[in-house]
Amino acid sequence: MASKHKFYYKTTGVWHKTNPMPRNMNLHFINSTEGWIYFVNKGKTGTFNNKGKAIHDFIETSVIRGNEKKYGIHPTQKPEVLFEHFVNLLSNENDVILDPFMGSGTAGIVSKRLNRNFVGCEIDKEYFKIATNRIEETLEQQIAIDLD
Ligand SMILES: C[S@@+](CC[C@H](N)C(=O)[O-])C[C@H]1O[C@@H](n2cnc3c(N)ncnc32)[C@H](O)[C@@H]1O
């Protein structure tokens, strides 16, 4: 299906959470990883800002910090530092980042902070409100920084 739409498969990687919820830890393994898949559209190479460093297909961070939840709770909210890694590496300033399932808007906040344009979709009205509040706060902080 991907190749039919001109997406070229590159990598499957892993995000490891250093402090996952230890649910049923005496019954089975703690669920501490999520996968990600990297495709490039229309070609075989895309932006890859590795600055000469070897970048592994494994990234490790803690789950979200308390201050990232201040606009409400989204059950699968990702840490900003995780998305910063991918936005920095795989796009350039003024590029457009699209997140068709933006949830609490983490990709939007990070995109604006890193001077990318952002388009997001979210089907749930409550999550959409959380996302827009978080993104608007980032924009206000940016305007304040610009004025300084
Ligand atoms: C895994 S969550 C995204 C979490 C997000 N990365 C964050 O950091 O908060 C996926 C989101 O996609 C939304 N969603 C599911 N189907 C959708 C659709 N057809 N159109 C738009 N959003 C949808 C869900 O409501 C959910 O909030």
pLDDT digits (tens, 9 = 90+) for 29-65: 999 999 999 999 989 999 999 999 999 999 999 998 7
Whether the pLDDT of residue 66 is over 80: the answer is: no
Is there a contact between 91 and 48 (Cβ–Cβ < 8 Å)?
no
Say what percent of the chain tops pLDDT 70.
99
Residues 6+ apart with CB under 8 A from 96: 116, 117, 118, 119
pLDDT in the model for residue 40: 97
Question: Which backbone phi and psi does 58 adopt, to 5 degrees?
Answer: -135, 130
Using CA of residue 126, residue 132, residue 135, residue 139, what is the dihedral sign?
negative
pLDDT in the model for residue 99: 98
Atom of ligand 1 nearest to the CA of 127: 27
Say which CATH number the domain at 71 has: 3.40.50.150
Write the pLDDT tens digit of every residue in 81-109: 999 999 999 999 999 999 999 999 999 99
Return the C-alpha torsion angle 75, 41, 119, 96, nearest 10: 120
Distance (angstroms) between ligand 1 centre and the Cα of 55 equals 28
Range of the domain at 55: 3-147
Whether the pLDDT of residue 148 is over 80: the answer is: no
Residue type, 76: T
Mean model confidence pLDDT for the chain = 94
pLDDT in the model for residue 68: 81
The total domain count for the chain is 1
Helix (H) or strand (E) holding 33: strand 33-41
pLDDT band with cut points at 50, 70 and 90 for residue 120: very high
| Cβ(106) – ligand 1 distance below 6 Å | yes
Distance (angstroms) between ligand 1 centre and the Cα of 53 equals 32
Distance (angstroms) between ligand 1 centre and the Cα of 131 equals 11
94: Cα separation from own chain's centroid: 17
| Cβ(123) – ligand 1 distance below 6 Å | yes
Ligand 1 site-directed mutation target among 110, 122, 125, 128, most atoms within 8 Å of CB: 122
In terms of Cβ atoms closer than 10 Å to its own Cβ (0-12, 13-18, 19+), residue 21 is exposed
Atom 12 of ligand 1, residue of closest alpha carbon: 101
Strand 7-17 vs strand 58-61: parallel, antiparallel, or unpaired? parallel
The CA distance from 5 to 22, in Å, is 40
